Structure 1
Amino acid sequence: MKTIIRFSLAIATLAFASLTQAQQVFRVSAIPDEAPTELQRKFKPLGSYLEQKLGMKVEFVPVTDYAASVEGLVNNKLDMVWFGGFTFVQAKVRSGGKVVPLVQREEDEKFKSVFITTNKSINKLDDLKGKTFAFGSESSTSGHLMPRFYLLSANINPDTDMKRIAFSGAHDATVAAVAGGKVDAGALNISVWEKLLSQGKVDSNAVRVFYTTPGYYDYNWTVRADMNPAMRKKLTDAFLALDKNDPQGKEILELQRATRFIPTKPENYESIERAAQQAGLLK
């Protein structure tokens, strides 16, 4: 009998140890606004850095679409997510205000979208009437919401004034659709556009920007509001400590296309929420 009891205790101890170990994994994800391989590449050095700062394993969990990133955080399957401004608003509404943006890149204070084309007859927003057009993902701030908002502000309704609209699913896919002649024009975030240009992945003689939006708040790293305050502070401090003059910090910041990270707050995204409501995109 003693042997059986000892054996049962051993199993219980092992089970508890396994559970504890499983809980020591910090699960991070990001909206899939670029190819999965690119998201993994960008995150790898940041993940290693966060492991050092948090003292626990950090795992990148890819998601299939924007909605999955929201549901993953709200349902405790993810601990931190790289959201666009609109996706953060969706997560805030979906959770009843139980998510909190921690930090954003300095560039995200005045983020912009660019409208691109290969069509020589398109030089201003009004020229898009009767043309075919590509947005990114339906839940993308810089690839759909804000481009749609500025189109509507210019009295252009994409759904009725354009010949056809499509959703490419990602910023780089939008560029490919425009460059390949699948659509007359498209919109994407300025950061991805500049990265593709710098990498020589787009022919600037063929594809050009004809309109750039005003600035708006966009991307941020978001966690659940019930996260342990000590953990939240560790995370925030880790991001704020990234320094471009340090080799490790330089690599991470360059991959994240950031000058530095700065604190952010929910109030910064109120204009995004209003834009989503006005465009009829907030459900």
Structure 2
Amino acid sequence: MRSLFRAAALSATLTLSLLSSAFALDTRYRDTDGDLVADIPAAAEQVDPAVLIFAYTPVEDPSVYARVWDSFLQHMSRVTGKRVQFFPVQSNAAQIEALRAGRLHVAGFNTGSTPLAVNCAGFRPLFIMAANDGDFGYRMQFITHPGSGVEKMEDIRGRRIAFTSETSNSGYKAPSALLRDAYRLEANRDFTPVFSGRHDNSVLGVANRDYPVAAIASEVARRMVARNVVRADAFRVIYESDRFPTTAYGVAHNLRADLQDKIREAFATFPWAGTALAEEFGKTIPAGERFMPITYRDAWKVVRDVDASVGVQYTCR
């Protein structure tokens, strides 16, 4: 998406500062092999929890996703020999804090939060959902509702725009940059930003005409339509971006090394056919049909480039 991106500061426990390009890990972590993620520490510093806690990115209704992930968590339990518990999180910041504090062991972080989780919480991304042919990714969209008077991006001027949270790539960073650099639309001057907290809230807000415009991730809206949570004709797309990587699945850096190997095995060997996970994520385009191994260095380069183009620095408190 070239150099059309500009991020804004996040005032939270973990802060994004528009200072200079810097993606160094927090001082509590080491990266001796240069892969941009925290090394597994020495054996004496590794942890072996009796129960593995798993959290999926706070995109939609946690109760829905507890059921969707149940078959996978049972599979992980069989492979690792440990009980695995689903932990619902309400915000990206809370999920990162839980990992950093040692209360979370396996997780799926959304696109925009992944670099923050890597740098500030020792997250080690291992997999991404992909179609059987290896296709993966999502697109950032601007949506509006019929009758809003918004026919094209320029019509956003003077209106409210729903974003999700400041750490979200598709729900805030990328759309904010696009508005500023491609359309010369400045927040609080040319439009009023509001925050819904999650992508599903933004989609429903537009569908119910609470918001005239929202920035969302395409895969979320497609899943909601497929589940009959929202009608396809309740909103329409006025802009769609190039492709970004989707949720990164991985582990806390300090889990016992052989346990990390077992968790990696669980992702790699999960039998998708006939599961709730396949039913839910098979509705996306491209379909989620397997966990595909990735490296953070390669798969998240486009996201780091977006941030680096405007000098984003991850400051960890």
Same fold (TM over 0.5): yes
| CA pair 279-85 structure 1, distance change in 2 beyond 3 A | farther
Whether the aligned pair in 2 keeps the contact of 1:149 and 1:275 (CA below 8 Å) is: no
One-letter identity of the residue aligned with 1:255: E
Alignment of 1:246-257 (within 5 A): 246-247=273-274, 250-257=275-282
Unaligned 5+ runs, structure 2 = 1-47, 283-287
Task: Provide the C-alpha distance between the structure 1 equivalents of 2:203 and 2:276, rounded to a whole number of angstroms.
Answer: 26
Residue 45 of structure 1 corresponds to: 71
The one of the two structures with greater contact order (alpha-carbon pairs below 8 A, sep at least 6) is 2
1:259 aligns with 2:289: yes
1:63 aligns with 2:93: no
Task: Provide the C-alpha distance between the structure 1 equivalents of 2:311 and 2:204, rounded to a whole number of angstroms.
Answer: 26
Unaligned 5+ runs, structure 1 = 1-21
Residue 94 of structure 1 corresponds to: 120
2:109 to 50, 69, 83: 83
Task: Provide the C-alpha distance between the structure 2 equivalents of 1:213 and 1:282, rounded to a whole number of angstroms.
Answer: 25
Greater CA radius of gyration, 1 or 2? 1
Whether the aligned pair in 1 keeps the contact of 2:77 and 2:84 (CA below 8 Å) is: yes
What is the Cα deviation at residue 219 of structure 1?
0.9
| CA pair 214-86 structure 1, distance change in 2 beyond 3 A | same
RMSD over aligned Cα atoms:
2.4
Task: Provide the C-alpha distance between the structure 1 equivalents of 2:160 and 2:120, rounded to a whole number of angstroms.
Answer: 33
What is the Cα deviation at residue 264 of structure 1?
1.3
Residue 271 of structure 1 corresponds to: 302
Whether the aligned pair in 1 keeps the contact of 2:73 and 2:84 (CA below 8 Å) is: yes
Partner of 1:112, secondary structure, is strand
Residue 20 of structure 2 corresponds to: none
Alignment of 1:206-217 (within 5 A): 206-217=234-245
Residue 34 of structure 1 corresponds to: 60
Task: Provide the C-alpha distance between the structure 1 equivalents of 2:175 and 2:216, rounded to a whole number of angstroms.
Answer: 8
Q: Deviation string for 1:65-87 (max 9, x for gaps)?
A: 21111111122111011101221
More helix by share: 1
Residue 6 of structure 1 corresponds to: none
Q: Give the TM-score taking structure 1 as reference length.
A: 0.81
Partner of 2:211, secondary structure, is coil
Identity of aligned residues (%): 23
Q: Deviation string for 1:151-206 (max 9, x for gaps)?
A: 33413445145431111011111012112222211011111111121223223333
Task: Provide the C-alpha distance between the structure 2 equivalents of 1:61 and 1:55, rounded to a whole number of angstroms.
Answer: 19
| CA pair 232-206 structure 1, distance change in 2 beyond 3 A | same
Q: Give the TM-score taking structure 2 as reference length.
A: 0.73
| CA pair 93-23 structure 1, distance change in 2 beyond 3 A | closer
Whether the aligned pair in 2 keeps the contact of 1:32 and 1:39 (CA below 8 Å) is: no
